[in-house]
């Protein structure tokens, strides 16, 4: 109960990626299965210290990014959702929580999908303001977070 209260856990299942300081990086309002297993495992791997493809680019642009929350509306049958989820989660981990990723299965959480009028997936909401519809790449998400041109490192 104390943990649930501290992190405002109101739904089951909820999976959290929280660092040793208590900073939440990633929240799943979903039970990863089917195509969502791979991004979930990649998130675990990166969170545990494995390589993160986006780390250099996020670190290079971090000062230009305001604290942000990415909400990614998905369904387990969506073929495009895993790529957007992977990008958002790896951005959150690379930013050490300055960017927060929330993955929402709108079939299991229909009220959230209806609230955001997510008629198609993937559907990404940035800070409850900007929306990105469909399959968007990392540059497009980063540009939306910054609001201008980005610096890219590979």
CATH class of this structure's domain 11-146 = alpha beta
Between CA 88 and CA 101 the distance in angstroms is 6
**What number is the average pLDDT over the span 33-57?**
96
pLDDT at 138 over 90: yes
Kindly state the percentage of the chain with pLDDT values over 70: 95
List, for residues 77-125, the tens digit of each pLDDT value.
Answer: 999 999 999 999 999 999 999 999 999 999 999 999 999 999 899 999 9
Whether 154 shows a pLDDT value over 60: the answer reads no
Closest by alpha carbon to 42, among 32, 31, 30?
32
Which pLDDT does position 14 carry in this prediction? 96
Q: CA-CA distance, 24 to 92, in Å (whole number)? A: 9
The domain spans of the chain are 11-146
What's the confidence (pLDDT) of residue 153?
56
The backbone region for 57, taken as left when phi is positive above 0, alpha when psi lies in -120 to 50, beta otherwise, is alpha
């Amino acid at each position: 109960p104390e943990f649930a209260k501290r992190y405002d856990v109101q739904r089951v299942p909820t999976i959290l990626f929280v660092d040793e300081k208590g900073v939440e990086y990633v929240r799943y309002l979903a039970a990863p299965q089917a195509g969502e297993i791979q991004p979930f495992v990649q998130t675990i791997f990166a969170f545990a210290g494995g390589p993160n493809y986006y780390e250099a680019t996020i670190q290079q642009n971090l000062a230009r990014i305001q604290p942000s929350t990415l909400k990614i509306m998905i369904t387990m049958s969506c073929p495009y959702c895993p790529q957007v989820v992977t990008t958002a989660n790896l951005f959150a981990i690379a930013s050490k929580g300055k960017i927060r990723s929330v993955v929402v299965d709108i079939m299991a959480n229909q009220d959230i999908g209806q609230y955001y009028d997510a008629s198609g997936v993937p559907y990404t909401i940035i800070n409850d303001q900007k929306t990105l519809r469909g399959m968007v790449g990392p540059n497009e998400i980063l540009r939306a977070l910054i609001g201008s041109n980005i610096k890219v490192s590979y």
